[in-house]
Amino acid sequence: MHTRDLSDHATYEAGRGIEEVARKLGRDPGEFVTLSSNENPHGPSPAAVEAIRETAGEVNDYPKAAHADLREAIGDRRGVDPRQVWLANGGDGAIDYLSRAFLEPGDDVLVPDPGFAYYGMSSRFHHGDVREYALSKGEGFAQDAETVLGTYDGERIVYLTSPHNPSGSTIPLPEVETIAERTGEETLIVVDEAYGEFADRESALALIEGREDVAVLRTFSKAYGLAGLRLGYALVPAAWADAYARVNTPFAASEVACRAGLAALDDTEHVARSVESAAAARAAFEERVEAPVWESEGNFVLIEVGDATAVTETLQKRGVIVRDCSSFGLPECIRITCGTDEETDRAIEELNAVLAERSAEAER
């Protein structure tokens, strides 16, 4: 008995969690702050927590009305028909739905390097292949049409990430439009706005009305603080919105997730606070970290530290868990999530101490 050939399939490397690190080091999880997975440091919206509690006694039923209600509420808020809201089990699930709807075996997707690993994974699951366009570290991971079109070769899906993970750079809307214009009629441009709430930028949703070849990805995992629930969606053009019924895994977005999502959408205060706090943390990192910090519009910053693996390990021993970006192909960089004020302060102090220690050692 064999699985199919999975040798091309990379496994997803998540940021380290507290329990995992604490167990490995034989320490109390309470001693650590986790700033490795771009989770919301303010927790979920209290309204969502309440909705989760209330829904607990009803999970014997399949999610039906809640799913429809959430599509409707998102459609309402975004000014699109609910049919254009492809609700899924996380943003990752929405990526899978786009793969299912578009990829024929052997089709290619074009993804950023460095970039979010799941684009390529999803393509491979669906018997597609992956090509990469390079975002240059030397140019601040700048994103524009030229960078993408210079590599584009008729791929079926082109992924843009704005704000980009792990750098935090964004792509201006006119550049997205140029890419959509100059790529083939059967090429879909997916603008992944998982961190869209944190950026002071117009959503690529503005392009969907006039075009059939742009989709936008959004998630409840980041600004809404619901990563553990798994809830995300794609916003797609009306022209092919009905394909959802043919690619949607039945009940993939759970009753609990949908009810929490509905409550979180109404809790604008929680999102506003999360966005403000991330902006303050970014400013603190940029001002106070004694190493190059890339300007970011997400809830995280990328920092050049030299040996990322060594710095990550030392920071971990000091109780601060960050993301080693070696797996992104950036072995000299770490990514730190914006924490609460206290968490961010602690991360900055510990990082500066580690950097100072390392430079003193290097001089010896």
Ligand X SMILES: *Cc1c(COP(=O)(O)O)cnc(C)c1O
| Residues at the site binding ligand X, with contacts judged by CB under 6 A | 90-92, 116, 161, 165, 192, 194, 219, 221-222, 227, 232
Comparing CB distances to ligand X, the nearer of 102 and 314 is 102
How far is residue 24 CA from its own chain's centroid?
Answer: 27
Kindly tell me which of 271 and 354 has the beta carbon lying closer to ligand X.
Answer: 271
- 323 and 36 in contact (C-beta within 8 Å)? yes
User: Which residues make Cβ contacts (< 8 Å) with residue 203, sequence separation at least 6?
Assistant: 193, 196, 216
- For the chain, the helix, strand and coil percentages under 3-state DSSP, each to the nearest 5: 45, 15, 40
Residue type, 314: T
| Of 219 and 314, CB closest to ligand X | 219
Instruction: Give least dist CB 264 to ligand X, A.
Output: 13
> Which lies closer to ligand X via its Cβ, residue 67 or residue 222?
222
331 Cβ contact partners less than 8 Å away, ≥ 6 residues apart: 307, 308, 309, 325
Amino acid identity at 227:
A
- Compare residues 130 and 354 and give the one whose CB is closer to ligand X: 130
Torsion, Cα of 109, 112, 116, 118 (10° steps): 10
Q: DSSP secondary-structure letter at 293?
A: B
SS3 label, residue 323: strand
Contact 224, 255 (CB under 8 A): no
Q: How far is the CB of 133 from ligand X (least distance, A)?
A: 15
Q: Which residue number, 96 or 267, has a Cβ lying nearer to ligand X? A: 96
Q: Is 354 helix (H, G, I), strand (E, B) or coil?
A: helix
Smallest gap from Cβ 144 to ligand X, in A, equals: 19
Total count of residues recorded for the chain = 364
State which residue, 39 or 107, has the beta carbon closest to ligand X.
39
Rg of the chain on CA atoms, in Å: 21
Residue 110 near residue 131 (C-beta atoms within 8 A): yes
Least CB distance from residue 148 to ligand X, whole Å?
Answer: 16
Q: What is the DSSP letter of 105?
A: T
Q: How far is the CB of 338 from ligand X (least distance, A)?
A: 14
Q: What does 218-248 look like in DSSP terms, one character per residue?
A: EESSSTT--GGG--EEEE--GGGGGGHHHHP
Least gap, CB of 221 to ligand X (angstroms)? 3
- Give least dist CB 255 to ligand X, A: 18
Task: Closer to ligand X by CB, 167 or 312: give it.
Answer: 167
In the complex, least distance from residue 166 CB atom to ligand X, rounded to whole angstroms = 8
